[in-house]
Structure 1
Amino acid sequence: MRANGALLLASALWGLAFVAQRVGSEHVGTFTFTGVRFALGALVLAPIILVSDRVRKVPRERRRAATRAVVLPGILIGTLLTIAVNLQQAAMSDTPAGNAAFITGLYMVFVPVIAAFRGHRSSMSTIIGVVASMIGLYLISVSDALTIGRGELLLILTCIPWAVQILLIEHYSARLSVLRLAMAQFVTCAVLSGVGALLFDAAPFTGMGEAVVPLLYGGLVSVGIAYTLQVVGQRHALATHASLIMATESVFGALGGALLLHEFMGLRGYLGAALMIAGILISQIGLPSAPLATLADATEPSP
């Protein structure tokens, strides 16, 4: 229950972060915003790790061994995180927060799809869930003129790295220090995004004064708290429960966009959002079923 609660809180914080990213994109370059927010997240987590080690009286050699163990997995996960977050941030300049939240939520459907490529047989519920989500994605992303915006396309591209990142966290978090693993991915993302800002942003590390509130929320709350809760929660939550709970990020993102930015997705958009939620639920928990014998008994007239 604690793990599921941690994941639900993380999803709510991520959902509201779409608003911060949308506002921040108006003032700060893509890689600058990501680099600064993940550097802030690392600064939040560092003292927590130090205090935790002292309280538990972890020997120095054990601390060093735990740190060495997370370096390579952290760099791998952090690189995927860098790709996904920067594609997402680049999309926020011309995509409403609500739309972005629902399209990003499609990564939860890709988790069982990727698992299928790893040798796991896809169930009928997975296939139906993917189809429903794709129809919903079409309604949200593709205009009446059968065109798709740049932002929507970038968000669709984030689904694969997000899905792989979740699977890798599930794989490594059970046997590594979760706080150090989170720190390693934060630092990796901050460093790679900082280099990206110098190479690709038109005005790197400028405009941060105007975006101070979105940066603080995105760094201290969305990264420092929410991404840490993800790593901690995935260590103890069942994979299906974790995927289902994190899918609520889309709902919180749409609520944040409507309440704080006064966005309206329109009837077509909300229908697409409903289909995406249905697809995510079906792909994760399956279709309701009843034994044929029970159904037959229910339709037999009483003697």
Structure 2
Amino acid sequence: MRAHALRADATLTLVALIWGSGFIAQKLGMDHMGPLAYTGLRYIIGVLMLLPFVLRARGRRRINRKTLVSGLLLGFCMVIAANAQQIGLVTTTVSRAGFITGLYVLIVPFIGLCVGHRFSFGHLAGAVLAAGGLYMLSGDISGGLRTGDLWVGLCALVWAFHVVIVAVAAPKADAIGLAFVQFAVVALITPILAFLFEEVSVQAVIEARWAVLYGGVFSIGLAFTLQIIGQRHAPPTHAAVIMSLESVFAAVFGVVLLAEKLSVPELIGCGLMFAGMLVSQAWPHKRTPAEKAELIDPVR
């Protein structure tokens, strides 16, 4: 396996780890404010974090027309996915929402086909293993279909589109510019929704300040930028399998920091998800356009 592919896998694993740790911050932050306010503040911090790099590009155009269009698409995907999930959580359980959202790992391969990203049998097998592991990690998700499940299903679908759009845009775009634009879209729209549908107070922001800062700097500013960098040299299905480890890392951080306990089925689920990543990583696959470009221009 080429060095750039290993670096991409390591980068996306770090993304999953940061997002997994972000669940702890989200849980603590939402003890003091609603999900829309928490999300809006995190993305505002993400914008402020990247703004100096955008302004001090030293003659480089970080945001050209293609980057702007791709960033706008990604930003709207983020807004729809985040809010659909929150609406769904009103009438469904957290465990069901977590499982349904994670099903994006099975949707990505087929959306990717539409834009010329082929997947190997290993990628698909890894996705199936990851989905099975997520099912076991989610606990009891029995019961009939609920309205909330449909909303969360929309979240999974849109998030799958997000992963594929990143796969298409990342090799040709400046990572910081692309991340900045998508953050800006969410930072503009979500606070408006928060003021319309939630009670927002300065005191709540002060009480949740550390959770908001961690979420904004690490889960948003750092992790989503690293996602773009990592997906430059990772097929979208493979990237989705690795990033689905977010659920495993969230469970691990819950055990370490919140003294939560994992049952035997949940431990098996974690193992299946790691197995899915290994299968997806080890199985031979045809090079993506980004990988082919790397052979011609290894410095890019």
TM-score scaled to structure 2, two decimals? 0.75
Q: Which moved more, 1:247-256 or 1:125-134?
A: 125-134
The aligned counterpart of 1:15 is 20
Cα pair distance change 1:234/1:20, threshold 3 Å? same
| TM alignment of 1:1-303, pairs within 5 A | 1=4, 2-51=7-56, 53-54=57-58, 57-58=59-60, 62=61, 66-88=63-85, 91=89, 95=94, 104-116=101-113, 132-141=129-138, 143=140, 146=143, 157-201=154-198, 203-205=199-201, 207-237=204-234, 239=236, 242-279=239-276, 282=279, 286=283
Contact 2:242 2:277 in 1 (8 A): no
Q: Which moved more, 1:5-14 or 1:190-199?
A: 5-14
Report the count of equivalent residues.
276
1:104 Cα deviation from its structure 2 partner: 4.7
Instruction: Give SS of 1:208's match.
Output: helix
Give the aligned residue type for 1:204.
V
Give the aligned residue type for 2:94.
T
Give the aligned residue type for 2:205.
M
Cα pair distance change 1:86/1:198, threshold 3 Å? same
Cα pair distance change 1:210/1:148, threshold 3 Å? farther
Contact 1:101 1:251 in 2 (8 A): no
Structure 1: distance between partners of 2:178 and 2:251: 30
The superposition leaves residues 91-144 of structure 1 with CA deviations (integer Å, 9 ceiling, x where unpaired) of 499637xx9777654433321133356687876656655555554444444638
Contact 1:11 1:245 in 2 (8 A): yes
Give the aligned residue type for 2:32.
H
Structure 2: distance between partners of 1:223 and 1:210: 20
Structure 1: distance between partners of 2:265 and 2:163: 30
Give the aligned residue type for 2:208.
A
Contact 1:11 1:252 in 2 (8 A): yes
Structure 1: distance between partners of 2:124 and 2:65: 41
1:209 Cα deviation from its structure 2 partner: 1.7
1:276 Cα deviation from its structure 2 partner: 4.4
Give the aligned residue type for 1:22.
K
Structure 2: distance between partners of 1:126 and 1:4: 13
Give the aligned residue type for 2:200.
P
Give the aligned residue type for 1:34.
T
Give the aligned residue type for 1:37.
R
Contact 1:244 1:281 in 2 (8 A): no
Unaligned runs of 5+ in 1: 288-303
Contact 2:76 2:186 in 1 (8 A): yes
The aligned counterpart of 2:298 is none
Contact 2:77 2:162 in 1 (8 A): yes
Contact 1:109 1:129 in 2 (8 A): no
Instruction: Give SS of 1:23's match.
Output: helix
Structure 2: distance between partners of 1:262 and 1:147: 32
Cα pair distance change 1:151/1:258, threshold 3 Å? farther
Contact 1:109 1:283 in 2 (8 A): no
What is the RMSD of the two structures over their aligned residues, measured on CA atoms? 3.6
Give the aligned residue type for 2:48.
L
Q: Which moved more, 1:114-123 or 1:180-189?
A: 114-123
Cα pair distance change 1:18/1:86, threshold 3 Å? farther
Instruction: Give SS of 2:172's match.
Output: coil
The superposition leaves residues 6-54 of structure 1 with CA deviations (integer Å, 9 ceiling, x where unpaired) of 3332222111001111222221111111110000011000112233x12
1:152 Cα deviation from its structure 2 partner: 7.6
TM-score scaled to structure 1, two decimals? 0.74
